Amino acid sequence: MENQNKVSLGGMDGLESREKEMKMANQRTAKSRELLVRLLAFVLTFAAAILLGVNKQTKVVPFQLTATLPPINVPVTAKWHYLSAFVYFVASNAIACSYAALSILLLFTSKGENNIFPKMIIILDTLMVALVFSSNGAATAIALMGYKGNSHVQWKEVCSVFGKFCDHGAVAIGLSQLGALAFLLLVLMSALRSNKRSSNY
């Protein structure tokens, strides 16, 4: 009888240890997924900030003073910091990539379920989503103005002149949009993880 009790208790201990191992494996998998998405967010926002931050193009543009005089060729330079929307874009992507690097470090240093870091990271991830999406909207509005102009206020499109500048800006906006989606994915992953925790209690 005692032997049967020992065997059944031994079986329970084995089951509990197996459950514990499964839980640890799931946590490691979730942590590695989160690390991968954070690295992706870092790379995309870093690339977007650098690409637009070094974006500059100089063209010689003919400028007609009067109809009777020949046009004067004037060198004109397009730089990202001439437009406040692009300044906001570069600054917000720089903030987002710095935060992504910092959050990767916090991910490695935080241990335990009752730690304050996971809650703080969820809030900061949400802020990054808002920051990067808003800067993308501002930069996209200016980029569309460059591509199409605005006939209501007599603004001509400039991308036919500054094609390289506009193309680099469009690529930077695309990379930043993917970075914002990566931050949004992090928020969704955190929400699902906290939902699983609350359902376990």
What is the rounded CA–CA span in Å between residue 119 and residue 116?
Answer: 6
Confidence of residue 124 (pLDDT cuts 50, 70, 90): very high
Residue 41 lies in a domain: yes
Q: For all residues of the chain together, what is the average pLDDT?
A: 84
Confidence of residue 7 (pLDDT cuts 50, 70, 90): very low
DSSP assigned state of 190? H
CA distances from 70 to 27, 42, 63 (A): 73, 51, 9
Q: How many domains does the chain have?
A: 1
Residue 14 lies in a domain: no
Mean pLDDT of 86-102: 96
Residue 19 lies in a domain: no
CA distances from 32 to 37, 43, 107, 149, 178 (A): 9, 16, 10, 45, 20
pLDDT score, position 156: 85
Considering only residues 163 and 3, tell me which one the structure prediction assigns the higher pLDDT: 163
Query: How many Cβ atoms are within 10 Å of 51's Cβ, its own excluded?
Result: 20
Residue 16 lies in a domain: no
Considering only residues 158 and 128, tell me which one the structure prediction assigns the higher pLDDT: 128
Residue 3 lies in a domain: no
Residue 86 lies in a domain: yes
Q: Are 157 and 147 in contact (CB under 8 A)?
A: yes
Residue 143 lies in a domain: yes
| Structural domain span for residue 86 | 37-200
Amino acid of residue 97: C
